[in-house]
Structure 1
Amino acid sequence: MSKVLFVYAKGGPPLGYALSRVAARSAVHLLALSSLPPTVAASADRICASVLCPAESERRDLVSLIVSRAQAVGADAVVTFSEYAVVAVAEACEKLGLAGAGGNCALARDKRMMRRTWQEQGISQPRFRPVATAQDLHEAAAALRFPLLLKAAWSAGSTAHRTLRSAEDVPAAWERAREVMAESAQLGYAELHVADAGADFLVEEIVPGTATGWFDQEGWGDYVSVEGVVVNGDFRPVCLSGRMPTVEPFTERAGITPAALPDDAQRRIVTLAREAVDALGLQNCGTHTEIKLGADGQMWVIETAARFGGAMTVPQIEEVFGLDLIGMLTDHLLGRPVSWPAEVRTPQEAHGAAGSLVVLAVDGAGEAWPDQRVWDFPTVRDAVPLSAGSHLSVVAENSLPDGAPVPVYDPAAGANTMAALCLLSATAPETVIHDFRNLVDALPRVLPTAGPTTEVRA
């Protein structure tokens, strides 16, 4: 039987979901670089042929650790679905002679190198400057046009994003962004392979995005993502995911599959995504490419990744298009034939729609809730009406337990302040938007008020 080494770290699709898809194709040996979620820890020994949680000292040379573990279990493939481990796994696969993202993987991880590569290729993107010091940021702010967005080069989940509207914002933005990267590292949301990656930043012009002219329905955000895969260097787009508008500065609130776009718009977006992915020279990996939409058909590539979209993006694709991307990629890495979609899937080919909502303590206009509330999914499920045919569930692995206080939203911390992740199945993408807007409006009313004696219920 084939053997796969699964390198787990925080981020990516829920571990329980990903493990089950890989285990259906092969014996799985789990190398856990982050603590296993409680919802998975109890069953990991049953699902996996082995589970190894290395000591901190063993992780200092992460590539060597992955190589030695792969050799010890006789792995035929090595996979990861975490942003924070993709570079290390790609380098390990190169050393092992196994199929992987390839030697250019870092170009899809370090936003500075990514943007430089696209700049050299003339690919449409916001103007930017890499920054490593407060002085660099002052100089970049003088060269670029406000408003600007400061972001960490190795971050994910919109953490450490700070908006600069004038030169006066530079000192505070620089200090807070660095603080958030340090806080994220303590939470386990940090690059695992590159030393001092939290000190690397870039700043970019905020381009004027709009959903008007792209979507027929209100409530959509002004950017989309192209989900796909690279197979032996060939980019294969799978589908487009839409978004609700982000929360200040650019924290994602919800992802919807599929994006309700006309065919011509979808084709144009995929063409730009193909240019962006091809420029990075990836070999064998999932891809997730974010594209900002502007007036009169303008588009800008924001970033791409050498892994599938995080949160519930992959489960949503399986639900509405019947494509098990994790299983398919596992088969491909094991050298088995896989029938990848010949063309990007359209909304007309979808069976219903699905969306995932990040629960943040802000209303539909992005304003903070007037008081602190307690997360309680049964209350939400019973109190918030949904459209006919819609079903709401909670992703326990990515959510606080019922009874936990909802964190106060911190714009700089982004998704680090989420309380829960909810999944909605519906008849159409427009229905997902409608139900999520109602849900966001209802949460600060229906959730219990937090008190001084609030306790977390197991």
Structure 2
Amino acid sequence: MSKVLFVYAKGGPPLGYALSRVAARSAVHLLALSALPPTVAASADRLCASVLSPSEPERRDLVSLIVSRAQAVGADAVVTFSEYAVVAMAEACEKLGLAGAGGNCALARDKRMMRRTWQEQGISQPRFRPVATEQDLHDAAAALRFPLLLKAAWSAGSTAHRTLRRPDEVPAAWARAREVMAESAQLGYAELHVADAGADFLVEEIVQGTASEWFDQEGWGDYVSVEGVVVDGDFRPVCLSGRMPTVEPFTERAGITPAALPHDAQRRIVALARDAVDALGLRNCGTHTEIKLGADGRMWVIETAARFGGAMTVPQIEEVFGLDLIGMLTDHLLGREVSWPAEARTPQEADGAAGSLVVLAVDGAGEAWPDRRLWDFPTVREAVPVSAGSRLSVVAENSLPDGTLVPVYDPAAGANTMAALCLLSAADPETVIRDFRTLVDALPKVLPHGTTEAQS
């Protein structure tokens, strides 16, 4: 039987979901770089041939750790679905002679290198500057046009994003962004292979997006993501995911599969995503490419990744299109024949729609809730009316326990201040948007009142 080394770290699809899909294809040996979620620990012992949680000293040379563990278990393939481990895994696969993202993987991880590559290829993107010091940020602010967005080069989940509207905001933005990266590292949301990656930043012009010229229905955000895979260097688009508007500055609130776009718009978006992915020279990996939508058909590539979309993106694709992307990629890495979609699936080919909502303590306008509340999904399920035929559930692995105080939303910390992740299945994308807007409006009214003493 074939053997797969599964390198687990925070981020990506829920571990329980991903692990079950890989285990259906092969014997699995789990290398746990992060603590296993309590909801998954028991099933991991059942699904895996071995589970190893390396010591801190062993993790210092992550590539060597992955190589040695893969050799010890006789792995035929190595997989990870975490943003924070993709570069180390790609380098390890190169040393092992196994299929992987390839030597250019860092181009899809370090946003500075990514943007420089696209700049050289003439690919449409916001104007940017790399920054490593506060003085760099002052210099960049003088060269670029406000408003600007400061972001960490190796972050994920909109962590350490700061909006700058005036030059005098530079010192505070720089200090807070660095603080958040340090806090994220303590939470386990940080690059695992590149030393001092938390000190690397870039700043970019905020381009003006619009959703109304692309979507017929209100409630959509002004950017989409193209989900796909690279197979032996060939980009294969799978589908497009839509979004609700982000929360200030650019924290994602909800992802919806599929994005309800006309065929011609989808075709043009996929073509830009193909250019962006091809420019990076990836070999074998999932891809997740975010594209901003502007007026008069303009588009800008924001970033791409050498892994599948995180949160519930991959489970949503399986639900509505019947494509088990994790299982398919596992088969491909093991050298098996896989029937990938010939082109990106359209909304007309979807069986219903699915969406995932990040619960943040802000209302539909992005304003903070007036008081503190306790997360309690049974209350939400009973008190919030969704459309007939819609099914609302909670992703326990990505949610606080019921009765926990909902964190105050911190714009700089982004998704680090989420309370829960809800999943909705519905008849169509329009219904997902409508039900999520209802849910966002209802949460600060129906959740139980809480105090800072509630958790003690």
Q: TM-score, normalised by structure 2?
A: 0.99
Residues 10 and 188, structure 1, Cα contact 8 Å, conserved in 2: yes
377 and 456 in structure 1: CA distance in 2 versus 1, 3 angstrom threshold: farther
CA deviations on 1:46-92 (whole Å, 9 max, x unpaired) are: 11000000000000000000000000000000000000000000000
State how far apart, in whole Å, the 1-side matches of 2:376 and 2:25 are: 36
Does 1:181 pair with 2:166? Answer: no
What's the offset of the Cα at 1:371? 0.3
CA deviations on 1:373-398 (whole Å, 9 max, x unpaired) are 00000000000001011000000000
Q: How far 1:363 sits from its partner (Å)?
A: 0.1
- Paired with 1:418 and 1:308, the residues of 2 have a C-alpha distance of 21
**C-alpha deviation, 1:43, in angstroms:** 1.9
Number of the residue aligned with 2:441: 441
CA distance in 2, matches of 1:160, 1:429: 30
Cα RMSD of the aligned pairs, angstroms, is 1.0
Fraction of identical pairs, as percent: 91
For the Cα contact (< 8 Å) 1:256–1:354, is it kept in 2? yes
- Per the TM alignment, residue 282 of structure 1 is displaced from its structure 2 partner at its CA by 0.1
Q: Deviations over 1:161-207 (max 9, x none)?
A: 00000101100000000000000000000000000000000000000
> Aligned in 2, Cα 1:455/1:76: closer, same or farther, shift over 3 Å?
farther
Q: Distance in 2 between matches of 1:47 and 1:286?
A: 23
Which residue in 2 is equivalent to 1:220?
220
In the alignment, what sits opposite 2:146? 146
Cα distance in 1, alignment partners of residues 8 and 343 from structure 2: 31
1:358 is displaced (CA, Å) by: 0.0
User: Structure 1: how far apart are the matches of 2:368 and 2:111?
Assistant: 30
Query: Residues 134-165 of structure 1, C-alpha deviation per residue, up to 9 Å, x if partnerless?
Result: 00000000000000000000000000000000
**Deviation per CA, 1:334-361, whole angstroms, max 9, x where unpaired?**
0000000001100000000000000000
Aligned to 2:452: 454
For 2:116 and 2:249, locate their aligned partners in 1 and report how far apart those are by CA, in whole Å: 24
Q: Secondary structure at the match of 1:42?
A: helix
In structure 2, the residue corresponding to 1:4 is in which secondary structure?
A: strand
1:44 positional shift: 1.1
Q: CA deviation at 1:454?
A: 6.8
Instruction: Tell me the residue number matched to 1:280.
Output: 280
Q: Quick one: structure 1 residues 205 and 457, their matched pair in 2 at CA, closer, same or farther if it must change by over 3 Å?
A: closer
Q: Does 1:59 align with 2:59?
A: yes
| CA apart distance, 1:400 | 0.0
Mean Cα deviation higher: 318-327 or 38-47: 38-47
* Distance across 2 between alignment mates of 1:13 and 1:61: 25
Contact in 1 for aligned 2:405/2:455 (Cα 8 Å): no
- 35-44 or 1-10: bigger deviation: 35-44
1:401–1:456 contact (8 Å) kept in structure 2: no
* Separation in structure 1 between the aligned mates of residue 310 and residue 193 of structure 2, nearest angstrom: 19
- 8 Å contact from structure 2 (residues 109, 305) kept in 1: yes
Distance 1:188 1:213 in 2: 39
Residue aligning to 2:390: 390
Partners of 1:44 and 1:310 in 2: CA distance? 20
How far is 1:105 from its partner? Answer: 0.1
Q: CA offset at residue 127 of structure 1?
A: 0.1
Q: Secondary structure at the match of 2:238?
A: strand
1:27 is matched with which residue?
27
Residues 58, 433 of structure 1: alpha-carbon distance in 2 compared, 3 angstrom cutoff: same
The offset of 1:456, in angstroms, is: 7.2
Contact persistence 2:88–2:193 (CA under 8 A): yes
Q: Do 1:148 and 1:203's aligned partners in 2 also have CA atoms closer than 8 Å?
A: yes
Secondary structure of the 1:213 match is: coil
| Residue 45 of structure 1: how far off its partner (Å) | 1.0
Pick closer, same or farther for the CA change 1:224–1:192 going to 2, 3 Å. Answer: same
> Is 1:356–1:421's contact at 8 Å kept on the other side of the alignment?
yes
8 Å Cα contact 1:404/1:455 also seen in 2: no
1:398-426 Cα distance to aligned partner (Å, 9 max, x none): 00000000000000000000000000000
**Cα separation, 2, equivalents of 1:43 and 1:310:** 21
User: Retained in 2: the 8 A contact 1:403–1:454?
Assistant: no
Deviation at 1:42, TM superposition (A): 1.8
Output the CA distance in 2 between the equivalents of 1:130 and 1:124: 17
Shift in Å, 1:457: 8.8
Q: CA deviation at 1:252?
A: 0.0
Report if the CA contact (8 A) 1:12-1:310 is conserved.
yes
What CA distance in whole angstroms lies between the structure 1 residues aligned with 2:292 and 2:243?
Answer: 11
| TM-score, length of structure 1 as denominator length | 0.98
Q: In 2, are the aligned partners of 1:154 and 1:197 still within 8 Å (CA)?
A: yes
Contact 1:401 1:457 in 2 (8 A): no
Alpha-carbon separation, structure 2, partners of 1:83 and 1:213:
32
SS of 1:115 mapped into structure 2 = helix
Q: CA deviation at 1:455?
A: 7.2
Any gaps of 5 or more consecutive residues in structure 2? none
Structure-to-structure mapping, 1:142-221, within 5 angstroms:
142-221=142-221
Instruction: Give the count of matched residue pairs.
Output: 454
Contact 2:184 2:190 in 1 (8 A): yes
> Matches of 2:24 and 2:318 in 1, distance apart?
15
Is this contact kept in 2: 1:404–1:454, CA < 8 A? no
For the 8 Å contact 2:76–2:98, the answer to whether it is kept is yes
Cα offset for 1:372? 0.5
How far, CA to CA, are the matches of 1:44 and 1:348 in structure 2? 37
| Kept after mapping to 1: 8 A contact 2:352/2:426 | yes
The 3 A distance-change label for structure 1 pair 199 and 224 is: same
